[in-house]
């Protein structure tokens, strides 16, 4: 399920981009996205109010609500911002946005083509409460302002099973602390994985963050006891979740709540 693109881009994320004036890792505050030969890179630069790409994803920090159409905002008295990290081509978030016009949705992925496809779906379905960002998740703190997000989702992040690759894992104590600053008190963070060892790693990473995140629920087999689990379709399950259910792999899930005043 992992492709060559992902390997290439991960290298860029962890080691920085050569061929620029400076050589900065993606998580560095001064990092700038380079141009790319990928044909979808150009298409994303041209497009529109529904998609923000690369450096442009960092121009609306703290102001994302105002980037949704006034039409969408007008119908929502107290809008909540839902952000999905690694949304792929929007398989889940498009359906969520369609089912809940009172929520505002933002899907983020580093894959050019996936984001382009997601935005096309949103346009075809006239969804005004959904935006897509082509960006690295490692830059979330430069994309969002303090307490800007109401609900954050991370479904099936790459598990990087080999010890030599653990440094690429997205969930770490430091990251959980950073993400806590972006989520509103009372807001939530939901994580799912098929990988038992990565799941235990996540719980360990979480333990120094108890003052920031309250653990609402932990499941090591989310669909256990549901004889109809294999019939679930999106958005009740994600694209990858459906595959893992079919393969008989238990889905692990943590639901966290951002504590107030910490």
Ligand X SMILES: C[S@@+](CC[C@H](N)C(=O)[O-])C[C@H]1O[C@@H](n2cnc3c(N)ncnc32)[C@H](O)[C@@H]1O
> Residues with catalytic annotation?
158
Q: How far is the CB of 187 from ligand X (least distance, A)?
A: 19
How far apart CA 229 and CA 189 sit, in angstroms, is 23
Q: Which is nearer to ligand X, 128 or 158 (CB)?
A: 158
Task: Report the residue number, 133 or 183, with the smaller CB distance to ligand X.
Answer: 133
> Which residues of this protein are in contact with ligand X, per CB under 6 A?
13, 86, 88, 108-111, 114, 136-138, 155-156, 158, 238-241
- Of all residues in this chain, which one has the CB nearest to ligand X in the complex? 86
Strand partners, 105: 82, 130
Q: How far apart are CA 76 and CA 161, in angstroms?
A: 43
Look up tokens 């009172």; give the residue: 102
Q: Which two tokens mark 207?
A: 């333990």
Going by their DSSP bridges, the two strands 183-193 and 252-258 should be labelled as antiparallel
- Least Å distance, CB 261 to ligand X, is 30
SS3 content of the chain, % helix, strand, coil (to 5): 40, 20, 40
Q: Least distance from C-beta 155 to ligand X, angstroms?
A: 4
C-beta closer to ligand X: residue 88 or 128: 88
Question: Which two tokens mark 93?
Answer: 């978030």
Rounded to a whole number of angstroms, the minimum distance from the CB of residue 104 to ligand X is 19
Toward ligand X, which CB reaches closer, 2 or 102?
Answer: 2
């Amino acid at each position: 399920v992992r492709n060559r693109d992902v390997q290439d881009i991960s290298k860029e994320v962890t080691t920085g981009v050569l061929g620029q004036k400076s050589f900065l890792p993606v998580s560095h505050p001064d990092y700038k996205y380079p141009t790319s030969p990928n044909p979808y890179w150009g298409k994303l630069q041209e497009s529109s109010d529904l998609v923000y790409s690369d450096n442009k994803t960092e121009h609306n920090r703290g102001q994302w609500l105002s980037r949704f159409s006034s039409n969408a905002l007008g119908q929502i008295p107290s809008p909540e911002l839902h952000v999905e990290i690694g949304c792929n081509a929007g398989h889940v978030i498009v359906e969520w946005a369609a089912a809940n016009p009172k929520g505002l949705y933002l899907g983020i992925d580093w894959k050019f083509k996936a984001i382009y496809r997601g935005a096309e779906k949103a346009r075809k379905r006239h969804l005004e409460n959904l935006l897509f960002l082509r960006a690295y998740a490692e830059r979330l703190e430069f994309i969002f302002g303090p307490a800007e997000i109401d609900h954050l989702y991370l479904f099936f992040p790459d598990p990087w099973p080999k010890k030599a690759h653990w440094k690429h894992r997205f969930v770490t104590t430091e990251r959980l602390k950073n993400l806590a600053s972006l989520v509103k008190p009372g807001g939530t963070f939901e994580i799912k994985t098929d990988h038992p060892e990565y799941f235990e790693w996540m719980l360990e990473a979480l333990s120094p963050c108890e003052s920031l995140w309250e653990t609402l629920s932990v499941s090591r087999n989310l669909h256990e006891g549901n004889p109809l689990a294999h019939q679930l379709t999106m958005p009740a399950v994600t694209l990858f979740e459906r595959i893992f259910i079919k393969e008989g792999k238990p889905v692990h899930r943590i639901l966290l709540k951002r504590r107030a005043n910490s």
